[in-house]
Structure 1
Amino acid sequence: MNILPTKKFVFFAVLFISLAFNSFGAGVDIKVLGVIGEAYNDVVVNGSYAYVATASGLVVLDVSTPSSPIRVGTYITTDAAKNIFVSGNTIYLLSSSSGLMVLDVSDPSSPILLGSYNIPGNANDVYVSDKKAYVANGGSGLQIIDVSNPAFPELLGTYNTPGYANGVYLSGMTAYVADSAAGLQIIDVSNPSFPVLIGSYNRAQYSNDRNVYVSGTTAYVAYIDYNYYFQSGLRIIDISDPSSPVSLGECPVPGLADVVYISGTMAYMAGDAGLHIIDVSDPYSPTRLGSYDSAAYPDSVYISGTTAYMTSDCSGLQIIDVSNVIPLVPLGSYATPRYAFDVSVSGTTAYVADEDSGLQIIDVSDPSSPVLLGAYDTPGSARDVYVSGTTAYVADEDSGLQIIDVSNPSSPVLLGAYDTPGSARDVYVTGNRAYVADWDSGLQIIDVSNPSSPVFLGLYHTPDYAKGVYVTGTTAYVADWGSGFQIIDVSDPSSPALLGAFDTYSYANGVYVSGTTAYVADDIFGLQIIDVSNPTAPVLLGSYKISGPAYVMNDTACDVYVSGTTAYVAGYGGLQIIDVSNPSSMALIGRYDTTGFAHGLYVSGAKVYLADGGYSGSFIGLEIIDVSDFSPPVLLGSYNNPSGNANAVQVSGNTAYVANGNSGIQILNVSKPASPKLLSTCDTFGSAKDIFISGTTAYVANVDYNYKIESVFQIIDVSKPDSPVSLGEYPVPYANSVYVSGNTAYVACGDGTFYSYGGVQIIDVSNPASMVFRGSYDMSVSSDIFVSGNKAYVVNGDSALQVIDVSEPSSPLPLGAYFGTHGSAKSLDVSGTTAYVAGYGGLQIIDLSNPASLVYRSSYYIAGDVNDVYVSGSTAYVANGSAGLQIIDVSNLSSPKLLGSYDTPGYAEKVFVSDSEVYVADNNGGLIILVISESEIPTAITLSSFTASQKGKKVELKWKTATEIDNLGFNILRSEVESGQYTKINKKLIHAKGSSTKGASYKFKDKHVESGKTYYYKLEDVDLDNTKTMNGPKSVVVNFRKKK
C-alpha cells in the first residue's frame, strides 16, 4: 500500500477567464485574471497587496501576479470581518461583534493587533482620515473615533442619522452617509465632538441608499428602489453646495447593487447581478457600458489602475481586468417619455407604442444614435403598434384603435379611430381589415379600407381576456390570457367561428405564427410551441420555461418573434434567443438582460428592437441589439433511449459507443449524424458509467448503486457491432472511469463513503476471460484517469491531481501532486505535457513537464456541474451538466477564452470529439451530436498603413486603405495609457472615400495635446451595418521644446 504523507492544506481555486458576455454582438472586453475562494466580504488594495475582510478575519494576498494570488498573511477574528480600510501600514477592520480593530501590517505576513474599540450596534462601513475613524453604524448613525493612539481608541462624537447608516465617505471636513431610506446625509465634522447636519438628499419614499463615493463636488450613491420591483442603480448628486444638493443624473442597473467605486470617469458597481461599469463622464447622462456576470453575488468592489477586485461570500476574491471596456450590445437605445410596450420597424424607422405618450417615431438609421422624428399623443394608453406602408395602427387601450398617417414622420396625422368596447391591447392588419385583441371584449374585426371612417365587421367573444393576435389567411390566432390560445375562423368576418383552442400552462400574452406552427409567449411558463396544422385539434410540440437573471424571481414571457429556426422572446429578464429547430427539445442559445422589462420586440435582419418598459413607473424606451455575430453550435442529430441515461460516449470511425446506465451499452451508426441508427445493445453487470474503446474491444466501468463494494469492470467484443459479446468481468470497488493501455486496464474507483474504498485498480486484460489483478494505488476517491507511457494521471474529489509511476504495476509510486484544483475534480484530459482538469468551478490547466513539481498555468471559471473535458488541438470541450457544452480556446495556455456554448436538452455527462463533430453523453437527453462552426466576419477595409507623428504642436495621424467594402467611415480614439480607456476625439465620423476596387488616403490632426505626454491612438472603421473594427494603437511622445 502506497500512502502519501498526510499534510494539512489550505486549498484555493485560482481562475483565469477571458469572458464573452453574450454569444453575439460586440461585447465588453473584460478578462478575469484570478480568483481565490473563501467567504470574502470586502477588499482594499495597496501596492501589490490585497487586504481582504473575510468570514474568519483578515487575509493578506500578494496580487503582484493577478492570475495567481498568493496568501501571505492572516489575522483571525472571533467573528466575521465585514469592512476594511487601509491607511499606509495600518488596517482598520470592522467585525460583527468585535467592533473596530486596528492592525499593523508593516509585515504583511504577520499582521499585529494594535488595539480595538467595541462599537455597539451594527457597524457597516468605516472611513479613516486624520487619525479619526468614521463609522456608519446602522441604526446608531455616524460614530467618530479617535485612533491617534491605536492601543486605546476613544469615541469623539456621534450623529444619530434619521435612517440606517449603511455607508460613509469623508471629503475634507464633511462626512457623507448613505442612510438607507433617509437618503444621503451630509454632515459637518470639523468639530468631531459635535457633528452638525449641513444638508441631505432623498429621492423617493422607497429608495434605500446603500453606499456612497465622493469625487470633487460630486457624490455617487448606490441605491435600491423597492418601489420599482427592486430596481437599483447609480445616482449622481451635485454637492458643490452641500446645504442644497442637486441630482444630476441616474443610471439603473440590473440586480440589487450595493456598492460603488469611482475611478476617473468610470463608476464600478457591484451587486447580485455582478459588476457593472458605467461611464459618468457626462453626469447628466451616465451610460452603462457593460457588466461582468459573476457566478456569485459580489459584496464589494475596489479599483486599482485597470484592475477591479471583487469579493463575494460565495467565491472569495475575483480579480478582473477592466482596461479595455467598450459599450456592450445593444447598439443603441432611445429613452421614450413613458412606458414602452411595443415596437414595429419599417426600413430605418421604429414606431414605439409608448403608453400615455402615444406613438413615438424614431429614426434608427444609425442604431448607436436613434433620433426622435415625431410623435402623436393618442388619447388613451398606446399598448401596441402595427405599421403598413405609411399608416400606423395603434391599439390604444380604452380609446380603441387609432389610425395614423406617418408619411411625414415629423408630423404624424390622425386619419381616423374606432372606439372598441373593451381595452385594445394588440392589433394585426392584413388587407383592409384590422384585428384587435380587445381584452374583455375578445377579438374585434374592423374594416379600415377608409381610414377616416373605420367600420365594425364582427367580433368573437373569447372566454378570457384577449391580449395578443396574429392573422394568417382566414385564421386568427388569439393569445387569450388565462384561457390560453384560441384559433378562430375569420373567413366570414361578420360571424367569426372558433376552430380550436389550446389551454397553455400559464397566461398567454403574445402569439406568432409561422406556417403550421404557433409560438405563444406564455408568461412564467415561457415559450409554448403548438402544431396548428389541424386547427380543430392543436397539439403541443414543446415548451421552454425561460429563466431570468438572479434579480428576476420568475421571468415572464411577454412577446415572441420567430425568424427561421430562432425564436426571440421578450420578457422581464430581457431578451432570450431560443433555437426552435426541434420544438420538443428547444435550447437557449443567447440572452441579453435589458435595463428594464422587455414587453415587445421586432426583428429586422440582424437587429432586434426591444420595447423596454422599465420597472413599474420608470421609463426606458427602445433598445436595439445586434445579433449579426451570433453563430452557435449547430445540432446535427440526437438519439435517446428512454430506458437509460447516457453517461459516457466514445466514437471510432462511424460508430458511437454509449455507456447508457441501466441499459448497458448502446452501439450506434453515426455515419449520418442527423439520423443515428441503433445497431445493438449489450446488457452489462450493473449501470454502465464509463466506456473505453480500443480496436474492436469495449472496456466498461459498471457500478451497482445498491451494492457499491462489488461493482464490475467488463470487457465486450464489438468486432461485430450488431452483435456484441461479453468476454469477461472483474470485480472492482465502485468503478468511475477506465483507461486501457496495451494489455493493461486502469480503473478509477471509489465514491468517498466509508464502505467504498477508492483509488486505482490495475488489471491485466490480455486474457479477457481470465483477467489478473496486477496492483493498486489507494486514495479516498479516484474520479478519472489518463495513462501515458509509464505515468498515470489521476484526479480525485479531494482537490488533487496526482501523477503515479506505473512502470511496475504491482508497486505503483507517487511522482508528484498538485493540491489546488477545484473543490471536486471530476475529470481530466492530457495533451503533451499539459493536463486539463474539470470540476466544480470550471477548467484548470496544469503543466506536467516536471511530475515532481506540477505548475499551475491558468484556469477558466465555469458555473455549474462541470463533469468532463476533452481536448482536441487547441480547443477544450467541457460537459457542463444542465448547462450543456462549453467550448474553450486553449491555444494560449495562460489565457483560455470561451468560444461558444450549446445548451443540451439533458444533463451533459461526458464529451468526445471526432473530426469536426462533438458527441455529448447527455444523460436523460441521450446522445447529442454537434458540429462546431466558426463565423468569419470580413472587415470593411484592408488597411495598408497607419501612422502617428508630431507636427508642431499637433499630432498628425495618417492612414491608407487598399480596399473598402461597405465602409461607412472612421473614428480616432485616444488614450494616455496603452491598455487604458480610449476616448473618441473626432466630433463627426470621418467619411469613407474608397471602394471595393481601390483604397484612399486619410489624415487627421489632434490639436489638443500637451508637451511631455505620451498619447496612444487607435483607428476604428465602421461599416454600413455598424460593425466596428479596431486598428492600432500607435504612440507619440509629444515634446514642444525647440531644438538648439
Structure 2
Amino acid sequence: MSLRQFINRKRYILPLLVLLYTITLVTLLIFIEQIKPIEPTEITQIDINKEDKTLIITGKNLPSNFSVLLTPNMQRKQDTVSSRFTLGRAFNIAGTNNHLWVANRPSELISYNIINPKNPVLTGVLSFEDDFKAWNITIQKDRALIAGGSSGLACIDISTPSTPVHKFTIDPNVTILDSIIKDGLAIIVTTRDGLMLLDIKDDTPKEIGKINLEGTLKSITQNGDRAYVLGAKNKKGLLYIIDIAQPRQAKRIATIELPHSAIQCKQIDDTLFISMGKNGLYIANINTLNLKINSYRIEEIAAFGLCATDHDIFISNGSHHIHHYRIDNNRLTHIKSFLTAGICRNIMLFNHHLVAFLGEKGFAIFDPSKKNTITAATNYLNKKHDHTQNILQNGKHIAVTSSFRLDLFTASKTDSMSQYDSITFARKIVATTMDKRYVYVALLNNEIHIINLPTKALKRTKKVIKWNSHLQNIVANMDKLYLGNKKNGIFVFNTENLNTPQQITPFISMPHDNYAIKDNKLYLATWPNGLKIYQINEQTTPSLIGELKYPATVEESSRTRDMVIKDGYALITSSNRGLLSVDVRDPKNPTIGDALDLSGFCSQIIIQGNYAYITTDRTKTTVVDVSNPLKMKILCELPTIIAVAFADNRIYQLNDVGIYINSPPQPLKIKEQRMDLIEFKLPSTSTEGYYDLQLATTQQLTKHSDLLHYSQQHGWTMTREPTLQ
C-alpha cells in the first residue's frame, strides 16, 4: 500500500469514530429515558368554563392519551342523599336518636351521626373479640342486642354513641339470628331450638323460658302485642304468630304454612306483607288467616328486604333495585325505583329516609319523598321466576330473552318502546340470534324455534326444527343458520325457503369454544390451540387457510366466550382473561394484535362504531376503544348491565328489572392540551339529566359519579366539588 492511500484512509477514521460515539450516546440516552420511572399523573382540579363550554382538567404529568367520557347516570343524586363505605361488609343496620348503628362484618359495630343525612359522620366503633360476627341488630332505647349467629348474642350500651360499651355476651351453643326486646325481656330466635326468653334488665342476663317451634327459624318482627316468626320446614315456609302482650308469658297462638320459605314480613293495619325472595311477595289479611295461607301474590318482582309506612311499602329485589309501591286495598301501585351501587337485600326506614345495606359497598341513604326518580326503565319486565339473559336488535326490532321467554319490541326515535308479543317456551332457552326476518331460539330439548319478526305476522312461530344434538351456539349468516355443538362441531341449516323441507347437514367436525362468520370465512376459536380460519365453499367442506396457536400465557388462561370480526381483526372475549385482538387481514397468517386484562368474567361483546361493549359477571359493561386494535384502551364502565343493544344512536341497557334507554357514552374532544392542563369541548346540547365523568389513561380509569348536570336552561353545570385522588 502506498503512503498516499494510507493517508486517504486515515482521513475517514476520525469522522467514523465520532459517528459511532454519537450513535452509542443517543442509544444510551434513549435506554436511560425508557427505564426512568414514569412520573405519576396527578389531577389537581376539574372545572367548567361556562363561557367557552369546555371542561378543564389541570394537574401534573397529564398523559397524551388522556381521554374523558360522559355517561348518563342511572342513580340520580336527588334520590341518593349520601353513602358511606364502612371498610368491611355492612350486613344490617338499626337506628335511634339520629344515629345509625351498622353491623359491619367481620366483627364491628359502627355508629354514624345522621342529623344531617347528606353528611353521615362516623362517631364510634366497637370491635368484638373472639371472632364475634355481627348478624342482626335490635335496639331499644340505650341498648342494642347483636345477634351473632353461632357466636351467640351480645348486649351493647349505646347511650354514648362515640364510646359504645360491650356489657355481656351469651353463648348458649345455639345459632342466634334475630331478636326483639319488650319490657326488659329479649325474645331470641335460635335456628333449631325455638324462641329463647331472656331477662336483660341488668348486666346478668337470665333465661326464664322457651317457646318450642318446629323447623328452622330465621327472623322475628314485632307489631304491638304480636310477634311474627318466620321459618322453614321440608322446603315450605312457616309463619308463627306469638302473643307478647305479657312477654314473660309469651305464647304461640297460630301456625300458618307458607308455600315457600319466607325472608321478612311487615304488618300494615290488618295486612301482612311477606317477602319470599325470587318467589315474589305474598299479601294476607291477618284477620282471616287460617292454617294455610292463600292470598294475593305478586310474582312480577323478587322480594327480599321490606320496610313500610302507613300507605307505602319498599321492597328490595336482592340485586340493585329498591321498589317503592303505594298500597291501596291490598293492591300495589309502582311509584318509583331506586338503583343501588351494590347488591342490596336489607333495607330500613329511619328519620323519613330510606337506608340500604350494600355489603362491601357500605350503605346508602335515599330520600323517598323526592318526586324525581332515577332514569325510569322504559319497559319493566314481567319476571315470573325468570332471569333475563340477552337483548338483541336488528333495525327497529328488539328481542329480549329470558330463561323461558322471548319478548318482542319495536323501538322509536323518541326513546320509547312498544311490546308487540311475548312467547313462553316449555324448555329453557340456551342460545339465540337474530336477522332481518327472524329470531332463532334454541332450547334445551334441542328444538330450534324460528320466530317471525313482523309485528303483524299472522303466525308468530314460522317453523320448529328438531335436532338430535345439544346446541350451544347459533349464528345466522346469508340465509344460513350455523348450529354449534362444542364437542361435535358445526352444522348448517338453509333458511332461504322455510316452506320447503330442509335438512340439518354437517358443516365442519371440529371441537370449539365459539365461532364467527364474515365474508365467506369461518373463524373458529378452539381450546387450547387458538384460532383457525376456514374458507367457506358452497359445494365442498370448508378448507383451512390459516391458524394461530396462542402463546402459553393466553392458552392457559380461559375459554373463548364471544367473538366478532371488525375491519380485519378478530376481537375475542375470554372468560377470565379479558379482550384479545387478532390481526386476520391476512387470513393465511393471523397474528396477535393486543391483549387487554378486564376485571370479572367476560362474556358478550357488542361493537358500536369504534367501541366494544363487553359485559361481565360483575353486573357492569366495560367500554373499550378498539379504533386501533393493536393498542386497545379501556374508556369507561356502565353499571348494573346484563347486555346491551343499539338503535338510532341510543343504547338499550338490559338489567334484572327492565330495559333502560340512554345516550351512549360521549367522548369529549380535546381543544387544548399541555402536560399541566387539558381542555375538552363539552357537547353543545344533550339529554337533560345527570352525567358521570369518567377519566381514562392506559393504566387507570377514574369515575366521578353524578359530577355534571345538563339542562337547556343552564347548560352544563357541576353538581359538587369532585373528590380528587
Q: TM-score range by the shorter chain?
A: 0.5 to 0.7
Partner of 1:925: none
Q: Look up the equivalent residue of 1:561 and give its one-letter code.
A: I
Partner of 1:624: 659
The answer to whether the 8 Å contact 1:50/1:62 transfers is yes
Match of 1:563 among 608, 617, 630: 608
Q: Look up the equivalent residue of 2:229 and give its one-letter code.
A: V
Per-residue CA deviation, residues 653-687 of structure 1 (Å, 9 max, x unaligned), is 9875xxxxxxxxxxxxxxxxxxxxxxxxxxxxxxx
Match of 1:529 among 581, 600, 612: 581
Q: Look up the equivalent residue of 1:384 and give its one-letter code.
A: T
Cα distance, 1:497 vs. partner? 1.7
Per-residue CA deviation, residues 719-759 of structure 1 (Å, 9 max, x unaligned), is xxxxxxxxxxxxxxxxxxxxxxxxxxxxxxxxxxxxxxxxx
The answer to whether the 8 Å contact 1:386/1:429 transfers is yes
Cα distance, 1:512 vs. partner? 1.9
1:603 is the counterpart of 2:659 = no
The 5-angstrom pairing of residues 611-760 of structure 1 reads: 623-628=658-663, 630-632=665-667, 656=675
Distance in structure 2 (CA, Å) of the matches to 1:425 and 1:102: 56
Partner of 1:169: 221
Cα distance, 1:514 vs. partner? 1.9
Match of 1:265 among 312, 319, 342: 312
Q: Look up the equivalent residue of 2:535 and give its one-letter code.
A: D
Q: Cα 1:560–1:135, aligned 2, differ >3 Å: closer, same or farther?
A: same
Question: What's the TM-score once normalised by structure 2's chain length?
Answer: 0.67
Q: Look up the equivalent residue of 1:85 and give its one-letter code.
A: T
Per-residue CA deviation, residues 844-875 of structure 1 (Å, 9 max, x unaligned), is xxxxxxxxxxxxxxxxxxxxxxxxxx9999x9
Cα distance, 1:165 vs. partner? 3.5
Distance in structure 2 (CA, Å) of the matches to 1:589 and 1:38: 25
Match of 2:546 among 500, 509, 525: 500
The answer to whether the 8 Å contact 2:75/2:375 transfers is yes
Cα distance, 1:177 vs. partner? 2.4
Partner of 2:115: 64
Match of 2:693 among 900, 903, 922: 900
Match of 1:475 among 518, 521, 525: 521
Partner of 1:179: 231
Per-residue CA deviation, residues 95-137 of structure 1 (Å, 9 max, x unaligned), is 65784648584x7788899999886634332223455432223
Match of 1:46 among 82, 93, 96: 96
Q: Look up the equivalent residue of 1:539 and give its one-letter code.
A: T
Match of 1:198 among 254, 267, 274: 254
- Tell me which of the two structures has the higher relative contact order, counting C-alpha pairs closer than 8 angstroms and 6 or more residues apart: 2
Q: Cα 1:25–1:329, aligned 2, differ >3 Å: closer, same or farther?
A: farther
Distance in structure 2 (CA, Å) of the matches to 1:378 and 1:139: 39
Distance in structure 2 (CA, Å) of the matches to 1:41 and 1:380: 34
Distance in structure 1 (CA, Å) of the matches to 2:474 and 2:251: 62
Distance in structure 1 (CA, Å) of the matches to 2:346 and 2:463: 56
Q: Cα 1:385–1:110, aligned 2, differ >3 Å: closer, same or farther?
A: closer
Distance in structure 1 (CA, Å) of the matches to 2:408 and 2:360: 46
> Which runs of no fewer than 5 residues in structure 1 stay unpaired?
1-21, 225-231, 549-554, 613-619, 637-652, 657-869, 876-886, 888-896, 909-919, 921-929, 944-1044
Q: Look up the equivalent residue of 1:63 and give its one-letter code.
A: I
The answer to whether the 8 Å contact 1:261/1:269 transfers is no
Q: Cα 1:474–1:86, aligned 2, differ >3 Å: closer, same or farther?
A: closer
Per-residue CA deviation, residues 39-66 of structure 1 (Å, 9 max, x unaligned), is 7765433343445667998776543234
The answer to whether the 8 Å contact 1:132/1:146 transfers is yes
Partner of 2:633: 586
Partner-residue secondary structure (3-state), 2:393: strand
Partner of 2:180: 127
Distance in structure 2 (CA, Å) of the matches to 1:98 and 1:377: 48
Partner-residue secondary structure (3-state), 2:71: coil
The answer to whether the 8 Å contact 2:635/2:694 transfers is no
Match of 1:249 among 270, 289, 298: 298
Aligned-residue CA RMSD (Å): 5.0
Partner of 2:196: 143
Distance in structure 1 (CA, Å) of the matches to 2:454 and 2:700: 53
The answer to whether the 8 Å contact 1:443/1:466 transfers is no
Partner-residue secondary structure (3-state), 1:124: strand
Distance in structure 2 (CA, Å) of the matches to 1:71 and 1:442: 60
Distance in structure 2 (CA, Å) of the matches to 1:281 and 1:570: 34
The 5-angstrom pairing of residues 410-559 of structure 1 reads: 411-416=458-463, 419=466, 422-453=469-500, 455=502, 459-465=506-512, 467-468=514-515, 470-478=516-524, 485-502=531-548, 505-548=557-600, 555-557=601-603, 559=604
Partner-residue secondary structure (3-state), 1:179: strand
Distance in structure 1 (CA, Å) of the matches to 2:450 and 2:126: 72
Distance in structure 1 (CA, Å) of the matches to 2:445 and 2:162: 71
Partner-residue secondary structure (3-state), 1:280: strand
Partner-residue secondary structure (3-state), 1:144: strand
Q: Look up the equivalent residue of 2:633 and give its one-letter code.
A: M
Partner of 1:794: none
The answer to whether the 8 Å contact 1:42/1:299 transfers is no
Partner of 1:351: 399
The answer to whether the 8 Å contact 2:691/2:708 transfers is no
Bigger helix share:
2
Cα distance, 1:537 vs. partner? 2.6
Partner of 2:339: 291
Cα distance, 1:456 vs. partner? 5.4
The answer to whether the 8 Å contact 1:384/1:396 transfers is no
Q: Cα 1:66–1:310, aligned 2, differ >3 Å: closer, same or farther?
A: same
Partner-residue secondary structure (3-state), 2:143: strand
Cα distance, 1:564 vs. partner? 0.9
Distance in structure 2 (CA, Å) of the matches to 1:170 and 1:374: 42
Q: Cα 1:306–1:299, aligned 2, differ >3 Å: closer, same or farther?
A: same
Partner of 2:379: 332
Q: Look up the equivalent residue of 1:603 and give its one-letter code.
A: F
Cα distance, 1:563 vs. partner? 0.8
Distance in structure 2 (CA, Å) of the matches to 1:413 and 1:71: 59
The 5-angstrom pairing of residues 952-1031 of structure 1 reads: none
Partner of 1:238: 284
Q: How many pairs are equivalent? A: 605
Per-residue CA deviation, residues 177-219 of structure 1 (Å, 9 max, x unaligned), is 2436764532222575362262345555xx6x55544434555
Per-residue CA deviation, residues 58-111 of structure 1 (Å, 9 max, x unaligned), is 776543234555677888987766654344x44243365784648584x77888
Cα distance, 1:313 vs. partner? 8.8
Partner-residue secondary structure (3-state), 2:560: coil
The answer to whether the 8 Å contact 2:561/2:602 transfers is no
1:387 is the counterpart of 2:435 = yes
Distance in structure 1 (CA, Å) of the matches to 2:333 and 2:599: 31
Distance in structure 1 (CA, Å) of the matches to 2:639 and 2:513: 29
Partner-residue secondary structure (3-state), 1:23: strand
Cα distance, 1:323 vs. partner? 4.9
The answer to whether the 8 Å contact 2:81/2:117 transfers is no
Distance in structure 1 (CA, Å) of the matches to 2:91 and 2:455: 57
Cα distance, 1:237 vs. partner? 4.3
Cα distance, 1:259 vs. partner? 5.3
Cα distance, 1:495 vs. partner? 2.8
